[in-house]
Amino acid sequence: MAKHIDNKDIQRAKEILDGWSGKLTWDLLVDEFKSRYGRETTRQAISRNVDIKNAFNDRKAILKSGTPTKSKPQTLKSAAQSIDRLKAENIRLKQENERLLEMFLVWQYNAHKRGLTDRQLNEPLPEIDRRS
């Protein structure tokens, strides 16, 4: 039976997507996730997560743009795969950052509209007892 995904699973799925080449579907992603981590999940569970869904859509768009790879010796091929994975991760992180900045602007506007002060917005979070 498939379990709920946690933050570690979300990060793992995004890492898989960063290095993905070839055809990309939700079912193929689920299969790759199980193959790498021995953990069963479902398409519905992973596609429900906004971060994974965004990373999936971003990677799919990159793959559709079609950057062909040249055949290289094993060491160069390995290096090229690492570079491609890092480029994909960089693009994904830039897009995530852009979404977070947009969210911040919405929050900033709503806080201003409700008369919240900088001091109120910058109050530290309450201490949490994590010894339980």
Tell me what pLDDT residue 1 has. Answer: 46
Tell me what pLDDT residue 69 has. Answer: 47
- Three-state SS string over 102-114 comes to HHHHHHHHHHHHC
Mean pLDDT, all residues of the chain: 87
pLDDT in tens, 2-27: 567 888 999 999 999 998 988 999 99
Domain count, the chain: 1
Report yes or no on 126 lying in a domain: no
- Give every CB contact of residue 9 below 8 A, 6+ residues apart in sequence: 33, 37, 39, 41
Contact between 81 and 44 under an 8 Å Cβ cutoff? The reply is no
Q: Domain residues for 32?
A: 7-120
Q: What is the percent of the chain where pLDDT is above 70?
A: 90
Tell me what pLDDT residue 76 has. Answer: 85
């079912």: which residue's tokens? 27
pTM value is 0.58
Which amino acid does the sequence have at 71? S
Report yes or no on 127 lying in a domain: no
Tell me what pLDDT residue 118 has. Answer: 87
């939700």: which residue's tokens? 26
Report yes or no on 79 lying in a domain: yes
pLDDT in tens, 38-60: 988 999 999 999 999 999 999 99
pLDDT in tens, 65-105: 876 544 455 788 888 888 998 999 999 999 999 999 999 99
